[in-house]
Amino acid sequence: KQEVTQIPAALSVPEGENLVLNCSFTDSAIYNLQWFRQDPGKGLTSLLLIQSSQREQTSGRLNASLDKSSGRSTLYIAASQPGDSATYLCAVRSSEGYSTLTFGKGTMLLVSP
Amino acid sequence: ETGVTQSPTHLIKTRGQQVTLRCSSQSGHNTVSWYQQALGQGPQFIFQYYREEENGRGNFPPRFSGLQFPNYSSELNVNALELDDSALYLCASSSGDRRDYGYTFGSGTRLTVV
């Protein structure tokens, strides 16, 4: 059974800092991994999608890496801003079974001005 | 291209009642998944529909049921509501034919059971 863990559970940083969010998964049989952002009480916004054959993806100030063999992914946020404050969720799409998403519990990020 | 839309946005029900939540999938997507997200937790998989057939189910009791229609929109039905069913219900769509696609999520339905 796939399990996804995100560390840290919460993070508070001053504006301008570069930061790294971590995600690990137990089963490397995946099609891809997605990073999502969730604002309080809202739905999920997809940030980056990394295929199992890729090592990283970039979008603006965000960079996500994937090491499938070791079951790890990181989300790097450069020059953080107060508007980045949200919960960040990592999810893997399994290549076995139902091929659905398995989520971590998320990292709650607070960027203070 | 339209995204995933869910209705209603908020709902309050009494324990023991039944509820139906609705979801319109993104254009071109034939797979719809439903997730339950309790406060402070990651979304938990309820079930998935591909071309109108259920093709996956998580660890949820049979009182959670669903449908997918020919236009790939979907419904989630919950019977005999319990207090623990209070959560954010998320719908997501993707392509079941292209496993390299990501999932697109709706804004969710906040269900409160009192």
- The predicted pLDDT at position B27 comes to 86
Which chain B residue shows the shortest CA-CA distance from A51?
A: B100
- The predicted pLDDT at position B95 comes to 83
Burial annotation A4-37 (CB, 10 A radius, 16+ → b, else e): bebeeeebebeeeeebebebbbebeebbbbbbbb
Give the pairing type, strands A72-77 and A86-94: unpaired
Backbone φ and ψ for A82, nearest 5 degrees, come out as: -55, -30
A interface test, pick of B29, B99, B111 with most A CB neighbours within 10 Å = B99
For residue A90, the one-letter residue type is C
Average pLDDT over residues A50-60: 95
- Are B42 and A105 inside 8 Å of each other by CB? yes
Terminal-to-terminal C-alpha distance of chain B = 38
- The predicted pLDDT at position A65 comes to 97
For residue B50, pLDDT beyond 70? yes
Averaged pLDDT of chain A: 95
- Are A103 and B110 inside 8 Å of each other by CB? no
- The predicted pLDDT at position A99 comes to 77
For residue B1, pLDDT beyond 70? no
- The predicted pLDDT at position A47 comes to 97
* DSSP SS3 for B62: coil
Which chain A residue shows the shortest CA-CA distance from B89?
A: A43
pLDDT (tens digit, 9 = 90+) per residue, B54-73?
989 999 999 999 999 999 99
Query: Which of the two residues, A100 and B7, has the higher pLDDT score?
Result: B7
A interface test, pick of B50, B60, B103 with most A CB neighbours within 10 Å = B103
Q: Which residues is B5 bridged to in the sheet?
A: B24
- Are B107 and A102 inside 8 Å of each other by CB? no
The neighbour count for residue A48, using CB atoms within 10 Å, is: 20
Q: Please tell me which of the candidates A42, A95, A101 has its beta carbon nearest to residue B45.
A: A101
Shortest Cα distance from A43 to chain B (angstroms)? 4
- The predicted pLDDT at position B101 comes to 81
